[in-house]
A = this chain, B = another copy of it.
Amino acid sequence: MNQTLETRLYEAVSRVRQHWRGTRFLDGLEPGVEGTRALLDVARIYRANRLEIGRMRPLVGRAVAGLFFDPSLRTHTSMEVATGRCGAHFVYLQGGEGTWKMEFDEGVVMNGATAEHVKEAAPVLSSYADILAVRAFPKADNRDETVIRAFARYAGAPLINLESALAHPCQGLADQLTLADLGGNNSFQGKKVCLTWAPHPKPLPQAVPLSVVRAAILGGADLHVACPEGFDLDAEEMERVHGFAADTGAKLTLTRDQASATQGALAVYAKGWAATDRERHGELAAKNAHWTVGDEAMKTATAFLHCLPVRRNVIVNDSVLDGPKSRVIPQAANREPVQAALLLSWLL
């Protein structure tokens, strides 16, 4: 029985490797369409056999280092539990707290506050751990990927982006698993998916909405993105992901009309993000307070999704979140199996 599970797991991992040999998971597009499908198959095997795989400890003797420059509940816990269940050791490191203040610029005379350069930190951590995972989402500049790019450059070990300014690829992978659960037959190809902007007091980066777009395109969805004027998603990133649409049959509709976007959708995925003109974010978010997702918007939709944490009665009303259409808990639960799939695909 265990023999069979081990064999199935190993074969599923082998299929990932047929399509993807990379060691960077930064925006989630790296494994491509086939590699992503194979990863999701590994995730499903893990999810259905979590305790049994935990007893097999397939990654015993391995170590994963997680470096968090920003707060985390789901990402930290799901990454650590996935690592531990696979039998590997997880080291939690808090950037800045309990470690040395890190330098990312080149050629600096380091006589100020920073005590350690990423040029040392990344290879040193790579020497101890078999995989690095890094979370860093700079608040000020929406397009600043300094931290994760520096680790990608200097880390010898495989690297997972646990959320940067422009990408939250593990969330995107989990979202594909969740959408495929909703779609039936492990697929949401051709299904209508709605990503809608929603009000949030803070000018948040586009990491999650862009990852939802990537996830929907990789999975071949009929994606409708709704947002008010002044909140359009990053054009360059949208262009880049659009290249995959031809392979997957995905369709992309951009609209200012939340009602039409949610109409009959398999899933309504809500998320707040910053106004393009960040100075005016507060004003523009207040002006569009009616974009909060309520019962009306969910009337003809099947499921409500959100990456969490979610601000209740700002992003979405209690009635939706506590109602039967909310799938945010199983969606969050899917983080563990997709991250386990990544670890297994690299280390098994």
Contact = CB atoms under 8 A, between A and B. Distances in A.
Nearest to A92: B92
A61 B65 contact: no
Contacts of A322: 119
Given A52-B61, A61-B51, A120-B329, A89 B93 contact: no
B312 A74 contact: no
Given A55-B61, A124-B74, A127-B336, A107 B313 contact: yes
Nearest to A103: B312
Size class of the A contact interface (CB-based, 8 Å): 35 or more
B81 A128 contact: yes
A121 B329 contact: no
Interface stretch (A110-118, A140-148, A183-191, A206-214): A110-118
A314 interface: yes
A254 interface: no
Contacts of A310: 116-117, 120
A71 interface: yes
Given A107-B313, A311-B111, A313-B110, A85 B80 contact: no
A54 interface: yes
Interface stretch (A94-102, A161-169, A220-228, A235-243): A94-102
A300 interface: no
Interface string A69-84: 0011110111011011
A341 interface: no
A109 B312 contact: yes
A201 B109 CA distance: 11
A72 to B, nearest CB: 7
A318 B61 CA distance: 35
A309 B115 contact: yes
Sort A-B residue pairs by CB-CB distance and give the 5 closest, nearest first: A54-B61, A84-B89, A116-B309, A127-B333, A110-B311
